[in-house]
Structure 1
């Protein structure tokens, strides 16, 4: 059987080095990146079989990166490897297109198993989170549920919110997103209205609480 080609994304170089050692006997690591925007770019160039990514990453968080990747590289299998062990994050990950979800503390024992499962076309959920979460994410109930406010934001608004929380200025955000300063200011105003927040400090605190950025 051909070894799967894997692209890995995490904002900690030591984590990437450790993950490479864990998988290199079973897979070919074709690239590593340290932020969400670089991940989207490299995935389109490399077209890997498996993409291993974190949720909390600079410039573009893993959930929004996954939403883009499922459209841009639909044949790549996405496995989240994150510190977020709550059902909410796992559910959002599968809704965003994940094939697997692992907690970092279980990587050594589960990563090989998860890669094999997704390469067989299966989904993999760490036993550290109840399987009911996976079932609910893959087969959502017909009864509509209220969204968390952050998921009610548009993808562009979430990008702007994350970059604001990371300390980027309006001009820097405009350059990164290839839009005008006025457009960034418009998005910031709409985000504040949507979330009922009134300062950059409040936006930052909210983004940290929602896992869009990490301290």
Structure 2
């Protein structure tokens, strides 16, 4: 592709899906990278400066919703296009509240992904035809149903890693903090949510689409 082609970053933890997206998109765009977790997506976005990020909801280490929010805070001009199996209207509405320009289901035709990328590059919103646009637009204007303001951004990161089964030392290594600090965050999370066990934390994370069931 020409050097002035729009730059695309693909973020999906399923290698086959990510590579298929790369092959499909690189016929018209410059695919500057493919990553498989949310934290790498945030870091790569800041380094590679893509015009569009095609991202899944369910990713390890940091989910797509939280990753998108962090990227938009650092790079307001970047376009976020979710490509996911998650057809919940509430999740789609939350994605737009986090700064998404588009929400596409993986059941779509391959050509629709290219169409969606072109649309968001032109400043338009794009929603899969199988989803109800009016309902999503209504919900996105209401108070968030998924974003729980009782937890800070850092606490959400710690909670996701706990729900993925990582021990405190692993979490500390990933988030560059001491084990004692991780333990403190866990205590505050449990206090804020009224949780009394790890199982309750996992259920909360699943219910809020931070991890898959």
TM-score, normalised relative to structure 2:
0.90
131, 134, 137: which one aligns with 2:133: 131
Which residue number in structure 2 is paired with residue 169 of structure 1?
Answer: 167
Alpha carbons of structure 1 residues 149 and 125: separation in structure 2 relative to 1, 3 Å: closer
Secondary structure at the counterpart of residue 8 of structure 1: strand
**What's the CA shift for 1:181?**
2.1
Structure 1 gaps of 5+ residues are none
Query: After the TM superposition, which of the residue ranges 174-183 and 49-58 deviates more from structure 2?
Result: 174-183
Alpha carbons of structure 1 residues 132 and 189: separation in structure 2 relative to 1, 3 Å: same
Which residue number in structure 2 is paired with residue 65 of structure 1?
Answer: 67
**What's the CA shift for 1:172?**
1.6
200, 210, 213: which one aligns with 2:211: 213
1:9-158 to 2 correspondence within 5 Å?
9-106=11-108, 108-136=110-138, 140-141=141-142, 145=143, 147-148=145-146, 150=148, 152-158=150-156
Secondary structure at the counterpart of residue 101 of structure 1: strand
Structure 2 gaps of 5+ residues are none
**What's the CA shift for 1:53?**
0.5
Which residue number in structure 2 is paired with residue 8 of structure 1?
Answer: 10
175, 193, 196: which one aligns with 2:194: 196
Separation in 2 of the partners of 1:83 and 1:109? 17
> Quick check: 2:102–2:127 contact (8 Å CA) kept in 1?
yes
Alpha carbons of structure 1 residues 146 and 137: separation in structure 2 relative to 1, 3 Å: closer
CA deviations over 1:31-87 (Å, ceiling 9, x no partner)? 000001110111111101110001111111111111110122222111001111011
TM-score, normalised relative to structure 1:
0.90
Aligned residues: 211
Query: After the TM superposition, which of the residue ranges 103-112 and 74-83 deviates more from structure 2?
Result: 103-112
